[in-house]
Amino acid sequence: MASARYDVLGIGNAIVDVIARAEENFLLRHDMRKGTMALIDEARAQAIYEAMGPAVETSGGSAANTTVGLASLGARAAFVGKIKDDPLGRAFAHDIGAAGVAFATAPAPSGPSTGRCYVLVTPDGERTMNTYLGAAQDLRPSDIDAETIAASAIVYLEGYLWDPKNAKDAFLKAAKIAHESGRKVALSLSDAFCVDRWRDEFLQLMRSRTVDLIFANEAELHSLYQTSDFDAAVRALRGDIDIAVVTRSEKGCLVISPDGNEAVPAFPIERVVDTTGAGDLFAAGFLSGLARGADDRTCGRLGALAAAEVIQHLGARPQTSLKDLARENGLAD
């Protein structure tokens, strides 16, 4: 197997976040389920934008955030996702490139505009997301470059990709090439309702060993196995996949691997400002550890550290060098 050019290549929906603070009753009034991601059409996107407060725009997208976190941690990262050649798309491309992530997916010259996610942050720091996929839904198998996939040690896929039909095929093509090249494939389950939409297919991906590693939070895990019994869900997970990481917010995470189960605590923080990107950055930290052969505990602590940084400010991308932060905490040389 040739040595890898990238530690991690992420594939996901290319999305620009439009973030505003909102009161709890705003969510109720607009029929939103707190803490989850809903897919919306252009008309609803327009209605939500008109009703929501003053916003900040920042590049987002789950797997994209993860690759930016990886670059901030000093790992070599690449991203594949579809933008349109429009102002939002150009901002997305600028931001991910300026963060040090290789991004070469050809933008769509026409069709729907670059995808947007309207993120409502309630006073408790929880975020509720409404995504208009736009150009992101046009990611297709021809956007997957076999040579680049084969040159990436880990291919990381977001579960949200299962929503747009063509992206699913791109996902499967990438996973196949990765395994044929002796690489690993990781999947984030993304969202409890996303799991609800695609439960059987996600389980099939795990059981068929199409993916080697999954990331899930507690809600996603409970949704996957349709049980409220955490221990039962963890036992089921052990049988379905080699490595799984279950994130548990302030309770830290549980790493399930052939070496056993390892519980890793969260990093203490002063105040949760905005949880957007917590899972994405956790995955970045964990994968950065995995890429350099760290043990489960170190990988988990790197994940917790990166997640702690991103929830202490607005927006889903790090505002400081995660590598410096890891160093200060004895987690990097």
Q: How far is the CB of 92 from a second copy (least distance, A)?
A: 10
Rank residues 45 and 213 by Cβ distance to a second copy and give the closer one: 45
Q: How far is the CB of 58 from a second copy (least distance, A)?
A: 5
Rank residues 101 and 195 by Cβ distance to a second copy and give the closer one: 101
d(CA 282, CA 59): 18
Told to check if 223 binds a second copy by CB under 8 A, we report: no
Give the bridge partners for 129, in sequence order: 37, 119
The dihedrals phi and psi of 114, each to the nearest 5 degrees, come to -55, 140
Stretch that binds a second copy, among 35-43, 281-289, 299-307, 313-321 (CB under 8 A): 313-321
Told to check if 134 binds a second copy by CB under 8 A, we report: no
Rank residues 113 and 131 by Cβ distance to a second copy and give the closer one: 113
Q: How far is the CB of 38 from a second copy (least distance, A)?
A: 21
Rank residues 59 and 105 by Cβ distance to a second copy and give the closer one: 59
The dihedrals phi and psi of 52, each to the nearest 5 degrees, come to -80, 165
CA-based nearest residue to 326, from 286, 278, 279, 269: 286
Q: How far is the CB of 216 from a second copy (least distance, A)?
A: 28
Stretch that binds a second copy, among 51-59, 134-142, 245-253, 290-298 (CB under 8 A): 51-59
Sequence-ordered alpha helix ranges (H) in the chain: 24-29, 42-51, 62-72, 87-98, 146-150, 165-180, 192-207, 218-225, 230-240, 278-291, 296-310, 322-328
Cα dihedral 314, 320, 322, 328, rounded to 10, equals -120
User: Of residues 28, 29, 47, 53, which one binds a second copy by CB under 8 A?
Assistant: 53
- Write the interaction track for a second copy spanning residues 91-130; mark x where CB under 8 A is met and - where it is not: x--xxx-xx-------------------------------
Strand-strand pairing, 56-60 and 260-264: unpaired
How many C-alpha atoms does 51 have within 13 Å on its Cβ side? Answer: 18
For the chain, the maximum distance between any two Cα atoms, rounded to a whole number of angstroms, is 55
User: Of residues 13, 59, 67, 130, which one binds a second copy by CB under 8 A?
Assistant: 59
CA distance from start to end of the chain: 27
Q: How far is the CB of 100 from a second copy (least distance, A)?
A: 9
User: Of residues 37, 314, 316, 326, which one binds a second copy by CB under 8 A?
Assistant: 314
User: Of residues 319, 324, 327, 328, which one binds a second copy by CB under 8 A?
Assistant: 319
Told to check if 306 binds a second copy by CB under 8 A, we report: no
Residues written for the chain: 333
Told to check if 140 binds a second copy by CB under 8 A, we report: no
Told to check if 20 binds a second copy by CB under 8 A, we report: yes
Told to check if 46 binds a second copy by CB under 8 A, we report: no
d(CA 128, CA 120): 5
d(CA 311, CA 281): 9
User: Of residues 11, 52, 170, 308, which one binds a second copy by CB under 8 A?
Assistant: 52
Q: What does the DSSP 8-state code read for residue 313?
A: S
Told to check if 73 binds a second copy by CB under 8 A, we report: no
Strand-strand pairing, 115-121 and 127-132: antiparallel
Strand-strand pairing, 15-21 and 115-121: parallel
Rank residues 8 and 99 by Cβ distance to a second copy and give the closer one: 99
Contact 272, 239 (CB under 8 A): no
198 Cβ contact partners less than 8 Å away, ≥ 6 residues apart: 159, 162
Rank residues 96 and 311 by Cβ distance to a second copy and give the closer one: 96
Site of interaction with a second copy (CB under 8 A): 20-21, 49-50, 52-59, 68, 86-88, 91, 94-96, 98-99, 313-315, 317, 319
